[in-house]
């Protein structure tokens, strides 16, 4: 099956690819061209709509989701600052690495992989942290961590949230939940190719920016003079024009379908997939009540694998014979779970039906 077949599988509402491909074909304007600036402003408006925020500093960082993580951390954390970080998967671990490279003191709050973090544990971990950081949707385990209670109890701390796999996929309320800094990615539930990291920052966080962040490229005070509408636009770095066209188009598709409808589509697919797996005797890995619809983690039953085929072999057959890519486990659950992403334009019932039928054929 060709790449094109896979990407275009499942046309219908919520498939941004026709628009995204057209967007990549648009003439590349200069990064200070008034027409491009207007399109950037409109992209940032659309991001405010999907993030559910009024933050003026809302824009796509010019690199993937991990750069959004780094951009938010380096601007509020330096030597002498304390950050509480929730860790129940790969991306919480990555936050600890990034924060310690900023010179900050890291207070870890761990939960078992597959379990959700207890918001109260994060609030109790330190009497006066500058930042509390948590991953909303842990892509490595399929677990959703609750954000609203942390925002409600954060006191003077800034709340920093990884929304890479939640934006567009599940309800997310930056302003109503009291989130001060958040970053996302284009290639997860928004269904746009990888390359940008939408970021949003509250006025309270801007007030507490470190004076000189340890990254020149990701210094949000400098970038703000280019991305924030109102004042004179000042060159910082050349915006990746075509990627911003693509994100603008992809967000347009999301808003045209309606954010709530997009989330409902993700939920319906996750529900059908998880029920289908349970019907077939599989055990879901993520804690009940905290399961992400867009990322289903399931324990691999070794006794169910056909003669001569290991779990990677099953994934290989899904890809080569059915055009379906599912993920293997990461870290401590490598080889023990499958992670099935059903997000963005791939979140459609027919894909779930096909996957379940393909598993029936391969596993017998």
Ligand X SMILES: *Cc1c(COP(=O)(O)O)cnc(C)c1O
Question: Smaller CB distance to ligand X: residue 194 or 316?
Answer: 194
Cβ pair 136, 144 in contact under 8 A: yes
Please, what is the minimum distance in Å from the beta carbon of residue 352 to ligand X?
A: 20
Question: Smaller CB distance to ligand X: residue 224 or 343?
Answer: 343
Please, what is the minimum distance in Å from the beta carbon of residue 273 to ligand X?
A: 18
When binding is defined by CB under 6 A, the residue of 14, 60, 65, 151 that contacts ligand X is 65
Question: Smaller CB distance to ligand X: residue 220 or 358?
Answer: 220
Please, what is the minimum distance in Å from the beta carbon of residue 90 to ligand X?
A: 8
Cβ pair 143, 114 in contact under 8 A: yes
Question: Smaller CB distance to ligand X: residue 39 or 161?
Answer: 161
d(CA 131, CA 151): 11
- Please name the residue that has the structure tokens 């010019």: 62
Question: Smaller CB distance to ligand X: residue 34 or 194?
Answer: 194
Please, what is the minimum distance in Å from the beta carbon of residue 185 to ligand X?
A: 4
- Of 60-68, 123-131, 276-284, 334-342, the window that binds ligand X (rule: CB under 6 A) is 60-68
- Please name the residue that has the structure tokens 């697919």: 269
Q: What is the 3-state secondary structure (H, E, C) of 99-128?
A: HHHCCCEEEEEECCCCCCCCHHHHHHCCCC
- Of 4-12, 59-67, 218-226, 323-331, the window that binds ligand X (rule: CB under 6 A) is 59-67
Please, what is the minimum distance in Å from the beta carbon of residue 67 to ligand X?
A: 7
Interface residues for ligand X in 117-176 (CB under 6 A)?
135, 137, 139, 162, 164-165
Interface residues for ligand X in 78-107 (CB under 6 A)?
91
- Pairing between β-strand 181-183 and β-strand 197-201 as defined by DSSP bridges: antiparallel
Q: For 250-295, give the DSSP string.
A: HHHHHHHH-HHHHHHHHHHHHHHHHHHHHHTT--B-SPTT-B-SSE
Please, what is the minimum distance in Å from the beta carbon of residue 331 to ligand X?
A: 13
d(CA 313, CA 298): 16
Please, what is the minimum distance in Å from the beta carbon of residue 165 to ligand X?
A: 4
User: What contacts 59, CB < 8 A, 6 or more positions away?
Assistant: 40, 43, 44, 47, 198, 199, 223, 227, 228
Residues, the chain: 364
Please, what is the minimum distance in Å from the beta carbon of residue 33 to ligand X?
A: 28
- Pairing between β-strand 57-61 and β-strand 295-299 as defined by DSSP bridges: unpaired
The site for ligand X, by CB under 6 A, has a size of 13
What are φ and ψ of residue 210, in 5° steps?
Answer: -65, 155
Please, what is the minimum distance in Å from the beta carbon of residue 164 to ligand X?
A: 4
- Of 64-72, 259-267, 277-285, 330-338, the window that binds ligand X (rule: CB under 6 A) is 64-72
Cross-strand partners of 61: 197
Query: Which residue's beta carbon is nearest to the bound ligand X?
Result: 65
- Please name the residue that has the structure tokens 């941004």: 16
When binding is defined by CB under 6 A, the residue of 142, 168, 185, 276 that contacts ligand X is 185
Q: Build a one-symbol-per-residue string for 235-264: x at contacts with ligand X by CB under 6 A, - elsewhere.
A: ------------------------------
Query: Which of 307, 298, 362 is closest to 336 using CA atoms?
Result: 298
Q: Does 64 interact with ligand X (rule: CB under 6 A)?
A: yes
Query: Which of 72, 68, 266 is closest to 186 using CA atoms?
Result: 68
Q: Residue 218 gets which letter from DSSP?
A: T
Residues that bind ligand X (CB under 6 A): 64-66, 91, 135, 137, 139, 162, 164-165, 185, 188, 194
């Amino acid at each position: 099956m060709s790449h094109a077949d896979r990407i275009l599988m499942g046309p219908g509402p919520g498939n941004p690819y026709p628009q995204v491909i057209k967007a990549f074909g648009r003439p590349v304007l200069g990064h200070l061209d008034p027409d491009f600036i207007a399109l950037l402003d409109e992209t940032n408006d659309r991001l405010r709509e999907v993030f559910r925020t009024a933050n003026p500093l809302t824009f796509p960082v010019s690199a993937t989701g991990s750069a959004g993580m780094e951009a938010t951390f380096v601007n509020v954390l330096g030597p002498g600052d304390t950050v509480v970080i929730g860790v129940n998967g790969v991306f919480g671990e990555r936050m600890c690495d990034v924060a310690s490279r900023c010179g900050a003191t890291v207070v870890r709050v761990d939960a078992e992989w597959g379990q959700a973090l207890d918001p109260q544990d994060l609030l109790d971990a330190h009497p006066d942290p500058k930042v509390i950081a948590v991953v909303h949707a842990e892509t490595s385990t399929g677990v959703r961590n609750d954000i609203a209670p942390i925002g409600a109890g954060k006191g003077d701390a800034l709340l920093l949230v990884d929304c890479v796999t939640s934006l567009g996929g599940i309800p997310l309320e930056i302003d109503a939940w009291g989130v001060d800094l958040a970053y996302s990615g284009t290639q997860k539930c928004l269904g746009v190719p990888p390359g940008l990291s939408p970021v949003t920052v509250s006025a309270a966080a801007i007030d507490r920016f470190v004076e000189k962040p340890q990254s020149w490229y990701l210094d949000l005070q400098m970038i703000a003079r280019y991305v924030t509408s109102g004042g004179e636009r000042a060159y910082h770095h050349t915006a990746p024009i075509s990627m911003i066209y693509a994100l603008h188009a992809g967000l347009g598709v999301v808003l045209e379908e309606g954010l709530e409808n997009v989330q409902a589509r993700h939920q319906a697919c996750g529900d059908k997939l998880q029920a289908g797996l349970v019907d077939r005797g599989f055990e879901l890995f993520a804690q009940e009540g905290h399961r992400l619809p867009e990322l289903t983690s399931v324990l691999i039953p070794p006794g169910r694998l056909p003669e001569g085929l290991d779990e990677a072999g099953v994934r290989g057959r899904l890809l080569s014979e059915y055009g379906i890519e599912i993920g293997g486990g990461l870290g401590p659950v490598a080889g023990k779970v499958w992670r099935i992403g059903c997000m963005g334009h791939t979140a459609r019932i027919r894909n779930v039906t096909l996957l379940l039928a393909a598993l029936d054929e391969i596993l017998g």
